[in-house]
Structure 1
Amino acid sequence: MPTFHRRLERNAIGFVLAIIGVSAIGGLVEIAPLFTIHETVEKAPDMRVYTPLEIAGRHIYMREGCYACHSQMIRTLRDEVERYGPYSLAVESQYDHPMLWGSKRTGPDIARLGGKYSDAWHVAHLINPRDVVPESVMPRYGWLQRNRLRVDDLDRHLAAQRSLGVPYTDEMVANAAADAAAQASPDSPGAAGVAERYGEATNVRAFDGDPARLTEMDALVAYLQVLGRLTDAAHQQAASAEE
């Protein structure tokens, strides 16, 4: 083998051809599945898009580096399914740009975190994780409750997502800032519009407990509370498999 490798390196043309051959194999493995992706990705007629507030929360989640310790992909292994719930489906991430699957788990996977804990639990956990999970090594994020959420650029965020294939309507883009504020203020005049545009299943409430102020805490908790709940496809598939 060393002799063969030495000869290959001395033969420039042969070495280039070998590189092209190996690259072609790797490219085939990576690219070929894309031609059948429409046959392999599950269907989810009930799939909904993130609201502007949830999009803002997702951006805060990425900004603070939460993905470095929490994955959002439950594998098909039995112990993962028993701990976290039905394994993740490709269709559940079709509107995630970028995807946040991850492989590092300093903390637990949060792909199905939505609805598992109350808003108050999440707020307390983010202000000081040790108050609710004594053994936690997670940093504090108390400033999120003090920081007002920026909403003036949310229409551009939705427009950018639409350019990537997320089916936001012109009405959703135009009302992005107002919908973000209304989702965290259930008694406001615009709350009904949020449910009308994004569906009755949309969480509309004061996520940080204070409907008078729209904060980054509101946005992040809104995002955490919708994880795994944009579609019920995974639970339906799991139920069908058990029958």
Structure 2
Amino acid sequence: MFNFHYRLERRSIWFAVAIVIVSGIGGLVEIAPLFTIDETVEDAPDMRVYTPLELAGRNIYIREGCYACHSQMIRTLRDEVERYGPYSLAVESQYDHPMLWGSKRTGPDLARIGGKYSDYWHVEHLNNPRDVVPESVMPSYAWLGRTELEGNDLNLHLRAQQRLGVPYTDEMVEDAVKDAYGQANPESEDADGILKRYGEATHIRDFDGNPAEVTELDALVAYLQILGRLTEAAYKNPILKKMGGSE
């Protein structure tokens, strides 16, 4: 086998041809499924977009490197479904730019973390993880609750997502800043506007327990609480019901 490879290396033209053939096979394996993507990706008519506050929280999640220890993709293995919930569907990531599927799990998968715990639990966990999970090796993120959210450029973030195909309306882009602050202030006048633009299912509340200001902790908790809940498609999947993974 090695002698064959050595002989091939001495014949540069044939070696280049072999590289092209192998690369072509690899490319075909990756590209061919894309021609059937319309048939393989599920429909999710109830799919909604991230609110500006949730998108800000996602940006913080990426900035702090949370994706390095937490995946967001539940595989189709029974033990994963039984532990984390319904396996991830392609349609659930259609508005994720970039996607955060991940592969390393120093901590648990977060694809279905939305609604599993209270806001208070998340606040305590982020302030000092060992207060709620004694064996946790996760670092503290207590400064998030002391850092005011800088959301003046959120309309630019939504505009960038819009250009990537996320169906934000021009009105959503224009009102991004006040919608972000309105979501974390249920008593404010801006709260009604966010319901109008993002739907009645939108979570509007003081996420971090500090009504005096909107912090980065508000944004991150808002994001965590929507993970796995942008659509209910996974919970309506008949295959998952057979596997015992539906709620």
Q: TM-score, normalised by structure 1?
A: 0.98
Correspondence list, 1:3-82, <5 A: 3-82=3-82
Q: CA deviation at 1:36?
A: 1.0
CA-CA distance at 1:239 after TM superposition: 7.3
In the alignment, structure 2 segments of 5+ residues that lack a partner are none
**Do the aligned partners of 2:71 and 2:109 also contact (CA within 8 Å) in 1?**
yes
Matched residue type, 1:69: C
CA distance in structure 1 between the partners assigned to 2:211 and 2:2 by the alignment? 71
- Where does structure 1 lack aligned partners over 5 or more consecutive residues? none
Identity %: 73
Residue type at the aligned position of 1:197: R
Who is 1:124 aligned against? Answer: 124
What's the offset of the Cα at 1:69? 0.7
Q: Which amino acid aligns with 1:150?
A: E
Cα distance between partner residues in 2 of 1:76 and 1:92 = 15
- Match in the other structure for 2:188: 188
The residue identity in structure 2 corresponding to 1:119 is D
Counterpart CA distance in 2 for 1:171 and 1:239 is 38
TM-score (norm 2): 0.96
Task: Give distance in 2, aligned partners of 1:218 and 1:180.
Answer: 10
Which residue pairs with 1:94 in the alignment?
A: 94
**Against the structure 1 CA distance between its residues 70 and 238, is the aligned structure 2 distance closer, same or farther, given a 3 Å change threshold?**
farther
**1:74-98: CA deviation from partner (whole Å, max 9, x where unpaired):** 1111111001111000000000000
CA contact (8 A) 1:86 1:238 kept: no
The 3-state SS of whatever aligns with 1:49 is coil
Q: Find the aligned partners of 1:33 and 1:234 in 2 and give their Cα distance.
A: 22
Q: 2: CA distance between counterparts of 1:191 and 1:50?
A: 16
Distance, in Å, in 2 between the alignment partners of 1:56 and 1:194 is 15
SS in 2 for 1:29: helix
> Which residue of 1 is the match for residue 233 of structure 2?
233
- The 1:127/1:238 distance shift into structure 2, 3 A limit, reads farther
User: Which deviations, in whole Å up to 9, do the C-alpha atoms of 1:150-175 show, x marking residues without a partner?
Assistant: 11110000000011110000000000
Q: Over aligned residues, Cα RMSD in angstroms?
A: 1.2
The one-letter code of the counterpart of 2:69 is C
Residues in 1 aligned to 2:211 and 2:192: alpha-carbon distance in whole angstroms: 15
Return the letter of the residue paired with 1:30: E
SS at match of 2:237: helix
Cα separation, 2, equivalents of 1:229 and 1:65: 22
CA distance in structure 2 between the aligned counterparts of 1:191 and 1:239, rounded to whole angstroms: 38
Partner in structure 1 of residue 217 of structure 2 = 217
